[in-house]
Chain A
């Protein structure tokens, strides 16, 4: 169980949108979520990463108050019961759904009405949002007449029509083509710029890496890491890529044991002593340095290191069909 929080460092001053401690949820004999800690400051974009079946949706549902935890504590926008601030929250579930016979603007207005927006105001906002997002021609169309992508956009707009302070997306990129994934990423950044806290779950690491300020990695119902993306990357040392003129010589003693050679390049973790002693040893050992680069670990590598190979394989497998 991770206890890390990225609020403890650079973002210390920001109030928390979500503060959850030790959330536990059990279904039958299955422990779906086992002591999840998550702290998310207001205005952050936060990713919940994990393979399918890891406990992401259950965690999000507990944070939204759709289900109650068996144990633990949660505070969402200052309320201990998330349903008490339901009008400030927008939620796009993994499995999208709209009433097929509703007109687009009516569907948005209905979702707004559920969050307290008067029907007439919701209709007005619905039409405006559809115009703004290039769906002006579909305002009067029924949902059943739309393409899947257009229907997803309508639902997304319905999630935002009441201008929530906290938006929760469950696998929002699932089923979207590359262009619409890009648009969604842009929309998420835009929300954060306006101070809205955005949480999304995903099993495609690239989205989290591009968007998120903080992440929680969930595997087997536990959270082995929760914190800033930088912190996750720092869990594994930077990798050195070295190309030398000489293949043998005293400089080889400067390389650690787990060095790998791929083609003309040597790969190894940056020694704890840093880059300067390494360079000195290579030069004095007559390596004949042709190139040397220090590559910071990617989030995928960090995920492998934190969650394990098995979880990472599931992520890759499940995410293989996704546009990342």
Chain B
């Protein structure tokens, strides 16, 4: 028999209630002043990396300036320097700079060891002797690097005539079997790293997502009005929406920068499923990975009542993510093996393993299966998280949650009990 009150006053459906929560959270975050910092966040490491790269390159280039000094009879010095110039034209960048150190008289001795040991600046080696028997004095590493080069230059200088090396014809190809395979593996690893960084950054944010509600005691109003599952779902999807806004902005900016720098996708190995599908799958797997890890973090974070407790939980949560990432990254090295299948089957590493698979293999059907599998686990995790939260927090009194620290609350999850109230 139908009940008119129930018919007219039934609570909101799960999805509608989740939408109410998601809409509030999404707009609250999107229109907050701090959102601009959220968008700028990834810029800081990029700037730091660029600066560090620039400084490193400068240091490296300065470190690479190492002269080889020539101390021979005058004519032989000239011949060596001329030979070096000529050879540098034919194999550019391969020869070290050579400088004249001394023009010796026939039979004159030269203490190269002492000169080198007392030398300042960029002198790294000294060539003495004759063109027939050159002697290279340098450190062990430099000898290994320049022994052959000095021999080549001395031989060229000794002959005194220009050599005509045969002109080598060239035919450029886009890729080869080996390079495509390597390129795809690099794409797979790069995609995994990017996915990991995005999920780690964004999923960790949900740790603190319920602190506001608990701090402001809004959670009880929500629990009285709508299913707790909807609160979870709403918060997860709000953060997913925010994440996608971020990914779109960052991705767009990155693409624009690469385009401006003259880089195009054709410079990289074509992923197995092709670039458009790869991008689509990347976004979908990002969503799945975020929802899987986010639902766990949201459940754990819901046990925290203060920002300090959230900070305490953030470190082990990040370590856990790194563990999952390492496991998933092993799958790239074990294609078709047990590790890959395990990484695909384990729900938390599945998105990482599958995005790598999309980079290296053409088949699409495994992705349909994997997405179904992951979606099932998303549903399970959300249900479990919501039920844990409901059990541990909403059964207690107004201050019940704050009486328990996150660790005791975590341990308490495995007991079927909670805290009394007024």
Partners in one complex: yes
Interface residues of A (CB under 8 A from B): 27-28, 30, 32, 52-58, 61, 64-67, 77-79, 83-89, 91, 93-102, 110-111, 113-116, 119, 165
Nearest CB of chain B from residue A114's CB, rounded to whole Å: 4
B32 within 8 A of A: yes
Q: Using an 8 Å CB-CB cutoff, how does the interface string of B14-52 with A read, 1 for contact, 0 for none?
A: 000100100110001000100000000000000000000
Nearest CB of chain A from residue B387's CB, rounded to whole Å: 12
Give Cα A78 to B8, complex, Å: 12
From A56, A77, A94, give the contact of B5 (CB < 8 A).
A77
**Residue among B32, B219, B220, B418 facing the most chain A CB atoms (10 A cut-off):** B220
Q: Are B225 and A114 in contact (CB under 8 A)?
A: yes
Q: Are B394 and A97 in contact (CB under 8 A)?
A: no
From B5, B220, B420, give the contact of A79 (CB < 8 A).
B5
Give Cα A65 to B395, complex, Å: 11
Q: Are B398 and A95 in contact (CB under 8 A)?
A: yes
Q: Are B11 and A83 in contact (CB under 8 A)?
A: yes
8 A-B pairs with the lowest CB-CB distances in the bound complex, closest first: A97-B217, A88-B9, A86-B11, A97-B216, A27-B420, A114-B225, A95-B217, A87-B9
Q: Are A88 and B8 in contact (CB under 8 A)?
A: yes
B422 within 8 A of A: yes
Task: For B11, list chain A residues within 8 Å (CB).
Answer: 83-87, 116
B222 within 8 A of A: yes
B57 within 8 A of A: no
B397 within 8 A of A: yes
B6 within 8 A of A: yes
Give Cα A53 to B398, complex, Å: 11
Knowing A27-B418, A110-B24 are in contact, say whether A100-B216 is a contact too (CB < 8 A).
yes
Nearest A residue to B17 by beta-carbon distance?
A114
Give Cα A206 to B23, complex, Å: 42
From A32, A79, A91, give the contact of B221 (CB < 8 A).
A91
Q: Are B5 and A114 in contact (CB under 8 A)?
A: no
29 A-B residue pairings within 8 Å (CB atoms): A27-B417, A28-B418, A28-B419, A52-B422, A53-B421, A54-B422, A57-B397, A57-B398, A57-B422, A58-B421, A66-B220, A67-B394, A84-B9, A85-B11, A86-B10, A86-B11, A86-B226, A93-B398, A94-B422, A95-B220, A95-B398, A97-B220, A99-B216, A102-B28, A114-B20, A114-B221, A116-B11, A119-B23, A165-B5
Q: Are B20 and A32 in contact (CB under 8 A)?
A: no
B376 within 8 A of A: no
Task: For A67, list chain B residues within 8 Å (CB).
Answer: 394-395
Task: For B5, list chain A residues within 8 Å (CB).
Answer: 77-79, 85, 88, 165
Q: Are A64 and B420 in contact (CB under 8 A)?
A: no
Give Cα A86 to B223, complex, Å: 10
Nearest CB of chain A from residue B223's CB, rounded to whole Å: 5
Interface residues of B (CB under 8 A from A): 3-6, 8-12, 17, 20, 23-24, 28, 32, 212-213, 215-227, 394-399, 417-422
Q: Are B420 and A97 in contact (CB under 8 A)?
A: no
Knowing A94-B398, A97-B221 are in contact, say whether A83-B227 is a contact too (CB < 8 A).
yes
Task: For B395, list chain A residues within 8 Å (CB).
Answer: 27, 67
From B213, B217, B396, give the contact of A93 (CB < 8 A).
B217
Task: For B23, list chain A residues within 8 Å (CB).
Answer: 119
Q: Are A99 and B220 in contact (CB under 8 A)?
A: no
Task: For A99, list chain B residues within 8 Å (CB).
Answer: 24, 28, 212, 216, 218
Give Cα A89 to B224, complex, Å: 9
Q: Are A101 and B28 in contact (CB under 8 A)?
A: yes
Give Cα A246 to B28, complex, Å: 78
Q: Are A66 and B394 in contact (CB under 8 A)?
A: yes
Knowing A65-B224, A79-B3 are in contact, say whether A30-B420 is a contact too (CB < 8 A).
yes
Give Cα A197 to B422, complex, Å: 23
Give Cα A58 to B419, complex, Å: 11
Nearest CB of chain A from residue B279's CB, rounded to whole Å: 34
Q: Are A79 and B224 in contact (CB under 8 A)?
A: no
Task: For A96, list chain B residues within 8 Å (CB).
Answer: 217
Task: For A32, list chain B residues within 8 Å (CB).
Answer: 420-421
From A78, A101, A114, A116, give the contact of B32 (CB < 8 A).
A101
Knowing A27-B417, A27-B418 are in contact, say whether A66-B224 is a contact too (CB < 8 A).
yes
Nearest CB of chain A from residue B351's CB, rounded to whole Å: 32
Give Cα A68 to B421, complex, Å: 14
Nearest CB of chain A from residue B212's CB, rounded to whole Å: 7
Q: Are A57 and B421 in contact (CB under 8 A)?
A: yes
Q: Are A84 and B10 in contact (CB under 8 A)?
A: yes
Give Cα A86 to B420, complex, Å: 24
Task: For A100, list chain B residues within 8 Å (CB).
Answer: 216
Task: For A88, list chain B residues within 8 Å (CB).
Answer: 5, 8-9
Nearest CB of chain B from residue A83's CB, rounded to whole Å: 5
Q: Are A27 and B398 in contact (CB under 8 A)?
A: no
Give Cα A60 to B28, complex, Å: 31
| Given A77-B9, A87-B8, 17 other A-B residues pairs in contact with their CB atoms under 8 A | A27-B395, A28-B419, A32-B420, A53-B420, A57-B421, A57-B422, A58-B420, A78-B4, A84-B9, A85-B5, A86-B225, A93-B221, A93-B224, A95-B217, A97-B218, A114-B12, A114-B226
Nearest A residue to B223 by beta-carbon distance?
A66
Nearest B residue to A53 by beta-carbon distance?
B422
Nearest CB of chain B from residue A198's CB, rounded to whole Å: 16
Q: Are A93 and B32 in contact (CB under 8 A)?
A: no
Give Cα A86 to B51, complex, Å: 57
